[in-house]
């Protein structure tokens, strides 16, 4: 396996559109790194640049110790798994798995050994004589993975490989890819628009928006310490609640939402210079809690619009004027119905402050 290094990689199309603005990071040997973001953010463009399927406008790309900017895709020692599987319909599973090795002129004995090894690893050994048309979506995706696997490349590139599968299959294939990565110790770069896939698969995640990298970190650090409002609201399901108001002091820190609605932030560390200024306060659904007796006297009591039980937890969709909120709790915690008013308090240690203009996260004073 090998490291992959991006040094100020940039992609500008002939019409002037910037697909990737300035990408610099290193994928460690054996790491599973995920590129995530909404449609059009540049994640697939970046992956295709690494694969050699898109030209590089500027910057440097290395695989191992070798600069590969001008190296053709077939000579980069990478294997790519596509969203649409890209299987040959007239070939059997065994023939699809062996095709790339035959093109490289590998000996028949080696081809047979690698095909059998990959088929056993991916539980395809009983399907080797079948053609893609009679396979399920999950089986086709395993064949696509196996075709990459038999090549034993330095780097695996996966471009939204699970997006055509239903929810149950996506979950089982995520587990399968994680097991495969641990077993192989392979360097993998995985593209997805699904933040759940990103959070569950990636050892590190690169979050992109409009061709620009927003943050690179481990899944839990991204969740707990988002660099800006985009990362905070993009990651997490449901996303982070955002309350815009002014910070005031009156027997403790308060967030004034206007119209007499005040949210107590007692004990929160105030960002320097933000008193009496408009600020965005972010709080995850699990940290937006029913108020205790003391806090219930405050005026912040949104109306319950929808109660959504999902088994071991309940999502409450709330409205306070133009403000929409989501709270996550256990079914035993409280019982409410649509139309009820629910006094709320924020779990202060988990509150985030953001600049409403730039979206950047504000660091609180000690």
**How do residues 136-183 score in pLDDT, each as one tens digit?**
888 888 898 888 888 888 999 999 988 888 888 888 888 888 988 998
How high is the pLDDT of residue 329? Answer: 83
Same domain, 273 and 204: no
What is the pLDDT at residue 297? Answer: 58
The whole-number mean pLDDT for each consecutive block of 10 residues of the chain, a chain of 366 residues, reads 94 96 96 95 95 96 94 92 85 91 89 90 90 89 88 91 83 87 92 92 97 97 96 92 92 84 84 91 91 63 90 90 88 79 88 95 74
User: Which pLDDT value is given to residue 200?
Assistant: 93
**Same domain, yes or no, for 149 and 252?**
no
Are 325 and 192 contained in the same domain?
no
Domain check: are 201 and 256 in the same one? Answer: no
The last residue of one of the domains, among 176, 211, 234, is 234
pLDDT value, residue 365: 57
**Predicted confidence (pLDDT) per residue in 316-358, tens digit:** 999 988 889 999 987 766 678 899 998 888 888 999 999 999 9
Residue 364 near residue 271 (C-beta atoms within 8 A): yes
Q: Quick one: 218 and 253 in the same domain?
A: no
Task: Classify residue 234 by its DSSP letter.
Answer: H
Query: Does 287 lie in the same domain as 229?
Result: no
180 and 35 within one domain: yes
Domain boundary among 187, 210, 234: 234
| CATH number of 50's domain | 3.40.50.300
Q: The domain spanning residue 358 has which CATH number?
A: 2.40.50.140
Q: In what order do the strands lie in the sheet with 66-67?
A: 18-27, 4-12, 58-63, 66-67
Distance from C-alpha of 233 to C-alpha of 309, rounded to nearest angstrom: 22
| Residue 257 domain boundaries | 241-362
Domain stops at, among 216, 234, 252: 234
Same domain, residue pair 175 and 92: yes
Q: Which residues pair with 190 in a beta bridge?
A: 34, 158
Same domain, 194 and 324: no
Instruction: Examine the domain organization and report whether 246 and 229 are in the same domain.
Output: no
Query: How many domains, in total, are found in the chain?
Result: 2
- Residue 299: what pLDDT? 54
Note the pLDDT of residue 333: 60
Q: Give the closest residue to 260 by CA, choosing from 270, 248, 271, 251.
A: 248
Instruction: Say whether both 169 and 257 belong to one domain.
Output: no
How much is the pTM?
A: 0.90
Does 259 lie in the same domain as 201? no
**CA-CA distance, 277 to 266, in Å (whole number)?**
17
């Amino acid at each position: 396996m090998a490291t992959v290094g991006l040094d100020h990689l940039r992609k500008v199309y002939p019409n002037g559109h910037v697909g990737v603005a300035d990408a610099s990071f290193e994928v460690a040997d054996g790491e599973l790194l995920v590129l995530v973001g909404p449609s059009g953010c540049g994640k697939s463009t970046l992956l295709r640049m690494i694969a050699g399927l898109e030209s590089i406008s500027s910057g440097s790309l290395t695989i191992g110790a070798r600069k590969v900017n001008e190296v053709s895709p077939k000579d980069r020692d990478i294997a790519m798994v596509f969203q649409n599987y890209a299987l040959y319909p007239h070939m059997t599973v065994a023939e699809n798995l062996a095709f790339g090795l035959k093109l490289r002129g590998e000996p028949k004995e080696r081809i047979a050994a690698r095909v059998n090894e990959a088929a056993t690893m991916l539980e395809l050994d009983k399907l080797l004589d079948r053609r893609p048309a009679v396979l399920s979506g999950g089986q086709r995706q395993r064949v696509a993975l196996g075709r990459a696997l038999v090549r034993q490349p330095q780097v695996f590139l996966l471009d939204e490989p699970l997006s055509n599968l239903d929810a149950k299959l996506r979950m089982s294939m995520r587990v399968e890819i994680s097991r495969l990565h641990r077993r192989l110790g392979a360097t993998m770069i995985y593209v997805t628009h699904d933040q759940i896939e990103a959070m569950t698969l990636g050892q590190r995640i690169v979050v992109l928006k409009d061709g620009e990298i927003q943050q690179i970190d481990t899944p839990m650090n991204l969740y707990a310490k988002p660099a800006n409002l985009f990362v905070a609201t993009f990651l997490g399901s449901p996303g982070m609640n955002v309350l815009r108001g002014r910070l005031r002091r009156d027997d403790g820190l308060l967030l004034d939402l206007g119209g007499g609605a005040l949210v107590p932030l007692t004990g929160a560390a105030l960002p320097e210079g933000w008193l009496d200024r408009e600020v965005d306060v972010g709080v995850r659904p699990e940290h937006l809690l029913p108020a205790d007796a003391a806090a219930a006297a405050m005026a912040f009591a949104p109306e319950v619009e929808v109660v959504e039980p999902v088994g071991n937890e309940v999502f409450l969709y709330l409205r306070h004027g133009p403000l929409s909120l989501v709270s996550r709790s256990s079914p035993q915690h409280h019982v409410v119905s649509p139309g009820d008013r629910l006094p709320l308090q924020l779990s202060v240690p988990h509150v985030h402050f953001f600049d409403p203009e730039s979206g950047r996260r504000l660091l609180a004073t000690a």
